[in-house]
Amino acid sequence: MTGFALLQAVLAASAEAPAGGSGPGPGAVIGWGAGVLGVLGAALGLLLYVASRAFAIKTDPKVDEILAALPGANCGGCGLAGCAAYAETLVKSGGAVNLCGPGGTAAAAKIAAILGVAFDSADRRVSVLACRGTAQFAPAKYEYSGVRDCRAAALVHDGPKACRWGCLGLGTCAAACPFGAISMGADGLAHVAEELCMACSKCVTVCPRSLFRLASEKQTVRVACASHDPGKETNRVCKVGCIACRRCEKSCKFEAIKVVENLAAIDYGKCKNCGACVKVCPRGIIVNWRAARKARKARAADSSPAQEPAEAAS
């Protein structure tokens, strides 16, 4: 019997009690009903308390400490659903402590201290575009006149660019970047200003060609191509795409670079940033970003707009 039904029964009994009879009066009946409801409420409250203690999900206090260290933006830049998911993953499974772009090195240092792990505060991450296929080197196969969005263009015959792996150049990444770190160049490519990048992964998420990745600033030697087509096909659609010639492999004495599925890939656990592969690449798609950073500093000194130089475009 619910509390409402019990109250109705009490009121009905009160109405039926004979006036001046030997039965309990209305006040006694109402008092008895109120007492029953009070006992019932206390019993249910105790039951809920016991259940909450018995079935409570115990959380590691480190999760709360990490949440306090994070900015709480819940941007998803770490690749997880939000700050809480990132904190729980770090505590339960471990992982990189510097995946929070908005929090930067300050948050990463606090998280490392909470978890008792080492962290190099100088190891900052930035977004990198794996394409050098400018309009000059990678022509279009048709003229696109639809919505100015790379995702929309990619749905029309796999995009207007002849290379099915290359940057479509419509600026979806630049529009998605909340920090203004990406701009579209006159060459038709996206350019990342590393000093503005917060590694939020927005560009990684919106690019329909999956051309962006987050890389350590210390990884100065990078492969600026994403094509897995055979060399002959790549050469037909792009004059600067990787043709899997393997010269980079032969030049590296640290065995840090291999051609995998027709594309050069760098093992940064072995790479010393020596630049040997940069020098021998006949297509110029293995680049050293140290030169780009120097050029960027020079431009900043001249107060000119930030943009990667064409010879080391990302």
Q: Note whether 105 and 129 are same-domain residues.
A: no
| Same domain as 196, residue 97 | no
Residues 185 and 136 in one domain: yes
Residue 4 one-letter amino acid:
F
- What's the number of domains the chain is made of? 2
pLDDT in tens, 169-217: 999 999 999 889 999 999 999 999 988 898 888 899 999 999 999 888 8
On whether residue 28 sits in a domain, the answer given is no
Q: How far apart are CA 154 and CA 138, in angstroms?
A: 16
What is residue 69's predicted lDDT score, i.e. its pLDDT?
Answer: 92
Cα distance between residue 298 and residue 306, in whole Å: 10
Please give the pLDDT value at position 29: 61
Is residue 106 located within the same domain as residue 134?
Answer: no
In this structure, which amino acid lies at residue 1?
M
- Residues 230 and 93 occupy one common structural domain: no
Residue 29 lies in a domain: no
Residue 292: per-residue pLDDT: 72
Q: At 179, which CATH number?
A: 3.30.70.20
Can you give the CATH number for the domain in which 104 is found? 1.10.15.40
| 75 in Cβ contact with 101 (< 8 Å) | yes
Q: Report which of 281, 150, 284, 293 is spatially closest to residue 219, judged by C-alpha positions.
A: 293
Q: Does this model's pTM top 0.85?
A: no
Q: Which residue has the tokens 């099915």?
A: 164
- pLDDT per position in the chain (314 positions), as tens? 555 565 566 556 555 555 555 555 666 666 677 777 888 888 888 888 887 777 766 778 899 999 999 988 887 777 778 899 999 989 888 888 888 878 888 898 899 999 998 887 767 889 999 999 999 999 999 999 999 999 999 999 999 999 999 999 999 999 999 889 999 999 999 999 988 898 888 899 999 999 999 888 888 999 999 999 999 999 999 999 999 999 999 999 999 999 999 999 999 989 999 999 999 999 999 999 887 777 767 766 775 444 444 444 44
Contact 146, 156 (CB under 8 A): yes
Counted residue by residue, the chain has a size of: 314
> Which of 297, 301, 247 has its CA nearest to residue 277?
247
Q: Please, are residues 119 and 112 in contact by the beta-carbon 8 Å criterion? A: yes
Q: Does residue 290 fall inside a structural domain?
A: yes
Element (DSSP H or E) covering residue 128: strand 125-129
Please report the pLDDT score of residue 277 as a whole number: 96
Q: Do 97 and 130 belong to one domain? A: no
- Alpha-carbon gap, residue 225 to 211, rounded angstroms: 8
Residue 193 lies in a domain: yes
- The burial of 18, by beta-carbon neighbours within 10 Å (0-12 exposed, 13-18 middle, 19 or more buried), is given as exposed
Alpha-helical runs (H) found in the chain: 3-16, 26-54, 61-69, 83-93, 104-115, 150-153, 172-176, 202-206, 231-237, 247-251, 276-280, 289-301
Please indicate, yes or no, whether residues 235 and 129 belong to a single structural domain of this protein: yes
How far apart (Å, rounded) are the C-alpha atoms in residues 166 and 171?
13
Please tell me whether residue 34 adopts helix, strand or coil conformation: helix
Instruction: Look at residues 103, 112, 111 and name the one whose alpha carbon lies nearest to residue 72.
Output: 103
Provide the residue range defining the domain that includes 92.
61-115
Q: Tell me, what's the pLDDT at 236?
A: 95
Q: Residue 49: inside a domain, yes or no?
A: no
Q: What pLDDT, on a 0 to 100 scale, did the predictor assign at position 8?
A: 62
Do 229 and 80 share a structural domain?
Answer: no
pLDDT at 310: 42
CB 102 within 8 A of CB 75: yes
Say yes or no: 199 and 281 in one domain: yes
Domain boundary among 80, 115, 150: 115
Q: Which pLDDT value is given to residue 10?
A: 55
Residues 6+ apart with CB under 8 A from 276: 251, 252, 253
User: What is the per-residue burial (b if ≥16 Cβ within 10 Å, else e) of 192-228?
Assistant: bbbeebbbbbbbbebbbbebbbbbbeebbbbbbbbbe
Tokens of 302: 């001249």
